[in-house]
Every structure is written in C-alpha cells, then in structure tokens.
Structure 1
Amino acid sequence: MEVTKTAKDAVQKVEEKVENGLGVIKDSFNNLASHLPFANLAKKSSDTFVIEVDLPGVKKEDIDIKVEDDYLTVTAVRKFKNELKEDDYYLCESDYGLISRSFALSDNIDRDSIGAKFENGRLTITLDKVASKKVKNITVG
C-alpha cells in the first residue's frame, strides 16, 4: 500500500506537535525547578531535625513559613533590584519572583516547637520530636 503525500504531511505535522509539546513541558519543568530553592535535611540528634533552605537575595521580611496539615511550606519573594533594567543585561540568570518549597512532616514532629533562623541567605528550620516520641534513657538502679 502506497502512502500518499497528504498522509506523510499529516504524520509530519503530528510529530512536530509532539516535539513542540515536549519542548513546552521541558521549559515548564525548568521554570518550576528554578523557583524551587535548594534544601538540605539533616538529623542533628536523635530528637532534632534541621532543614536548611538556600534563599540568596531574599530579605528576612519576605519569608513566610506555614504549617498546614502535614506540610511545612516555605514561601519567599526575591524582588528585582530597583536599578535593574532589561537593557543592562545581555544574560540574566538570576531568578526573581515567588519561591516556594514544601516538606512533609511526620506525626512525630512537634508542630508547636518549630523554630526558624535566617542568616546570610540561608534559612535554618529546627524540628523537634514530640515529647512522647523522644528517646528516653533509663538509668538502672
């Protein structure tokens, strides 16, 4: 069976649309990833966890930390500098705008004792276990 030119053109158009769609998806994921700050999770002791979130260029007053249900969400805004003009840059890789990152909290985290400190572009969040879940050492008498 011979494939007509019209059928070949139709197949080619479908392939182009698929390739363009994949490009749009890739660009969307890249844009999303650029607004997810880097984070480190560490176990400081058997009862304490620390989350470090890199937020360079963000001011302390532009950071919001919220616990809702079983998620801790860090939201920040990196604002444009007043002197920044599009004409001043050939290539500008610094991202500006809303930054957000969420972390799932397990049941053993005490939501009332979460602490946060911001210094030199790094947000440090301290999470303690609930008292009933902390390690208890028992002395043998």
Structure 2
Amino acid sequence: MISKLGRYWSTGITVTYSPLAERIHGEPYGGWHAKLDYMDDGFADNDPETGQVSTEGTLQTRYPVRNAKIRSGLSIAVDTLLADAKRLGIEFIAVGADSEPWLYYQGDGKDAEHPPPDGWRETLAAEAARIGFRSYATPAA
C-alpha cells in the first residue's frame, strides 16, 4: 500500500554497460541497461490491522539499449526510465547533503561482472548533467 503521503520515490538511476549486447551483421555492439529502485514513504511503521504496509519495487530496461543513429543508448535507456517513472508517479529525491538524485554505475564501477567502459565517469557525468542529476565526476553544488 502506498504510504499516507501517497507517493513513491527513488534516489536515482543505476546503469550498466554490456559490451556484447547485440550483434549486427556479425559485429558486436554494446548497450546500456538502466534500473531504478523505488519505495513508498513508510519506514518501520507497518500497521497490518489497517492495511498500512510499506512497499517497494524496481523498474528497469528489459534488454540492453544500443546506440541509435542520433542518440546514445545510455540517453535512450535513462530517458525511458525517467518517462516511465513520471507516468507511475515515482519522484526523484536527494538524500543527505546532495541537492540532486544520482546517476550510478552498478557496483560503482568495481563489480567484475559488470565492468564499466573506458571513460565511464565522464560519460555518466555528462548524462547526469543533461538530466539534472549528480554522478561520480560531478562537482558538488
């Protein structure tokens, strides 16, 4: 059940890069996955008697998104999640001293199963600036 405030929220979007996401004419092309975790405003205040039970979920691209002719796969994946989050009423909020939500990389770029591409910090910083988020190489406001 959505909390008494009636909203879902997320602190940002997490992306990963898949270097062999798709093959076109035998050549491998990479692609981007994007996901966000969201939750309601409930926090240790479940009340089963009244049906007030906190919920959470995940919204993600199903397949890696490769670059299109005029846009990057990263931008397409991120914009898709932003649009779907808006339709579902998921708000992006900042936690702590940061003033914007974050664009993260899976495992902060240290996950051996999801290695980031070269220049990933700068790529994410540019994408984060485009959408009004922060990222690893983004200076604090």
Q: Which is greater in Rg? A: 1
Same fold (TM over 0.5): no
Greater share of helix: 1
TM-score where L is the length of structure 1: 0.30
